[in-house]
Amino acid sequence: MADQPDNAAVVQPVAVAVEASSLRDQVATIRRALAGSPVRKWLLWTSVGIMAVIIATSIGQVLLNRWNQPFYDALARRDMAAFLHQLLVFAMIAGGLLVLNIGQTWLNQMIRLKLREALTLDLIDQWMRPARAFRLANAGAIGVNPDQRMQQDAAHLSDLSTDLGVGLLQSCILLVSFVGVLWELSSGFVFHIGGTSLAIPGYMVWAAILYAGIASWLSWLVGRPLIRLNSDRYTREAELRSSMVRVNENVDAIALYHGEADARRRLELDLGTVLGAMRRIYTAQINLSWVTDTYGWITVVAPILVASPVYFSGDISFGGLMMAVGAFNQVHSSLRWFINNIGSIADWRATLMRVADFRIALDETDALHDTEKRIAFGQNVDGSLTFEKLEVTSPEGCTRLADPHVEIRPGERVMITGDPGAGKTLFFRAIAGLWPWGSGRIGLPSGETPIFVPRVPYFPVGTLREVLDHPNGPAPANDAD
């Protein structure tokens, strides 16, 4: 009843290409996913809470930095009473900061948890919409290993987004808090070089910005390849895991064919691609370490070198020098946020690309291309199943029924026959609405839902009653029914 494919009508119905989407598109996609999440309000209020905690922590750290001056001045004067008093002040400030740090850690973990919940639920919801998972599986590379993108990548993206977002916010607030301190300490200093006097208001602030700016630029220049390398590694890891799952699912056939050696060879090849990707990442990380570690060692003495002119001129005491060093370190640390997190940023960028592009692909599987014909569907009030000039197109060609008009009335039994490769499976997929590419019309019984038996039956994990209720979900009937 089904004719052989007509190779003159070769088409490619599904073409989802989103791997080159921009960072702006990817961020906008994740934002849309979170906007419709039931935990959106919870995330907003928690974000407000962690911002308040960070602001309070910054105030405490400013107080701790100002504590340096009287404490070290007391040491320089050998003043035991002032020394003991400052220890008490330190205990009070440190106690408050301890409570704030614990609170920030708890809020950070909760944001991680809720963000993963929102992302994973959204991806599952988009993936499990009618026929989307099937169409995505035929959409090319983007449809390979969706389980990794929804489980591992979504979790990793949630953790990285939370840690990097909170860290960036904290660095910005600390930068604003300590720039004023550093500016105040170096605002009136005048450099005397030979017979020339040079006044640079807030020179320590400019020195910190210049120092951190050069380090950031070098780190980005050296660490940028990590974005592509991390993305490639995740792809190779997914391929290795998929190969192992495939072997595990077919151990009986492999044993019957005595194919263990070939299966091992294929797994070793996949493992080799993973190890090669990891070696390239490690090489890039070593190159990045040359930059970050060099600046790390220079930073040990850089604050003292920058503040030493003010100290040797007698404008500040030893305690003032230590306060200036502390403020410089805080400003520099805030400006160094990019350097310290270049590896994590590259990892975040690669993970964002995998999750967002997967989400975009799920949306695009529903987009119908205007240049391709679609099968029309209708309802027959008489309960019959009809096919009018039905042709189903596929990458291999076109499948059509031998009769241009077929009508199957209620109660009739009909066998669909055809040579191997004639497209019988594709024909049933078209009836189910899974494969809409083609022409003609399919008329379904009005008010009825067709039931199909797949080649490989699917039974969900659960009790016998839950299996019998599939796919409609739990039924209100009792066990006796």
Q: What is the DSSP string of 186-243?
A: HTT-EEEETTEEEE-TTHHHHHHHHHHHHHHHHHHHHHTHHHHHHHHHHHHHHHHHHH
% of the chain surpassing 70 pLDDT: 86
Contacts of 428 (CB under 8 A, 6+ apart): 416, 452
> Whole-model pTM above 0.75?
no
pLDDT at residue 272, as a whole number: 93
Domain count, the chain: 2
pLDDT tens digits, residue range 11-59?
Answer: 344 444 444 567 888 888 888 888 888 888 888 899 899 999 999 999 9
My answer on whether 357 and 445 are in the same domain is no
Strand partners, 198: 191
Comparison of pLDDT for 280 and 465, the residue scoring more? 280
Segment 250-267 mean pLDDT? 84
**One-letter amino acid of 274:** V
List the domain range (segments joined by +) for residue 181: 23-364
Domain final position from 364, 381, 399: 364
Q: Give buried/exposed letters for 84-123 (b at 16+ CB in 10 A, else e).
A: eebeeeeeebeebbeebeebbeebbebbbebbbbbbbbbb
- Mean pLDDT (the chain) is 81
- Token pair in block for residue 176: 């604003």
Domain final position from 364, 390, 410: 364
pLDDT of 231 higher than 60: yes
Segment 133-149 mean pLDDT? 75
My answer on whether 143 and 252 are in the same domain is yes
My answer on whether 341 and 397 are in the same domain is no
My answer on whether 9 and 43 are in the same domain is no
Which range has the top average pLDDT, 86-90, 178-182, 197-201, 251-255? 86-90
pLDDT tens digits, residue range 94-121?
Answer: 999 999 999 999 999 999 999 999 999 9
pLDDT tens digits, residue range 354-376?
Answer: 898 888 888 877 664 444 577 88
My answer on whether 376 and 234 are in the same domain is no
Chain centroid to CA 168: how far?
17
Q: Where does residue 140 fall: left (phi above 0), alpha (psi -120 to 50 degrees), or beta otherwise? A: left
CA distances from 264 to 155, 267, 471 (A): 31, 5, 38
Domain final position from 308, 331, 364: 364
CA distances from 353 to 20, 26, 301 (A): 9, 7, 40
Contacts of 248 (CB under 8 A, 6+ apart): none
pLDDT band at 210; cut points 50, 70, 90: confident
Number of H helices, E strands in the chain: 15, 7
The neighbour count for residue 131, using CB atoms within 10 Å, is: 15
My answer on whether 341 and 462 are in the same domain is no
Q: Which residue has the tokens 């604050």?
A: 303
Q: Are 35 and 75 in contact (CB under 8 A)?
A: no
My answer on whether 433 and 292 are in the same domain is no
Segment 450-474 mean pLDDT? 71
pLDDT of 160 higher than 90: yes
Q: Are 404 and 388 in contact (CB under 8 A)?
A: yes
pLDDT at residue 5, as a whole number: 43
My answer on whether 296 and 445 are in the same domain is no
Secondary element (H or E) of residue 58: helix 40-77
My answer on whether 58 and 196 are in the same domain is yes
My answer on whether 378 and 271 are in the same domain is no
pLDDT at residue 98, as a whole number: 95
My answer on whether 81 and 7 are in the same domain is no
Query: What CATH code is carried by the domain that includes residue 243?
Result: 1.20.1560.10
My answer on whether 280 and 393 are in the same domain is no
